[in-house]
A = this chain, B = another copy of it.
């Protein structure tokens, strides 16, 4: 297909596609004449992934390039590519010094062990959780981590379904795109639904006559 058709199908403007080509995020089409190139399904798949990373994942272009170059390494197992994408989605606003974080990290490591989860030690979410525990303690809520076992059980059931869904999306590009969309939109949805659940329970408890 020509660039105009690629633009229509991917719902990305032609100038934006040209920008991705210049930045090396998208591989060049097959040249069909001096001024024209032809694009195929692999370009479309890649373009949807780029869009998901930038628009949904809010990743800077440099990080997108990094993720895509991981994807193009032929020997990289899918699980590791997933790790790179997932880590790049994690905002690391580490606001606590390492020694303060370490206290929270003990609880997090115990939590992971208690549930028997296989998690790489350098996964940024582990420090995110440790930071949350430290903040909660400082705010006078030392028992916040008690809720995390509940969260783990809930998340385990959710993840089983979700990983099953994305693993059936076909190409690696599609799987990754599904992971980005599912991670970011799914987490916004889960947060909103948890708030609604609070309202529902609170309506029952506090308005009963």
Q: Which listed residue, B51, B128, B206, touches A79 by the CB 8 Å rule?
A: B206
1/0 per residue, CB under 8 A from B, across A167-195: the answer is 10000000001110111011111111111
Partner-B contacts on A (CB < 8 A): 11, 48, 51-52, 56, 77-79, 82-83, 86, 89-90, 112, 117-120, 123, 125-126, 128-129, 132, 135-136, 138-141, 143-144, 147-148, 150-152, 154-163, 165, 167, 177-179, 181-183, 185-207
Copies held by the complex: 2
Q: Is B150 in contact with A158, judged by CB distance below 8 angstroms?
A: yes
* Contacting pair A196 B119 (CB below 8 A): yes
Closest to A194 in B: B155
Residues of B within 8 A of A90 (CB): 195
B78, B120, B147, B193: the one within 8 Å of A155 (CB):
B193
Query: A192: shortest Cβ distance to chain B, in Å?
Result: 4
Is the Cβ of A135 less than 8 Å from the Cβ of B185? yes
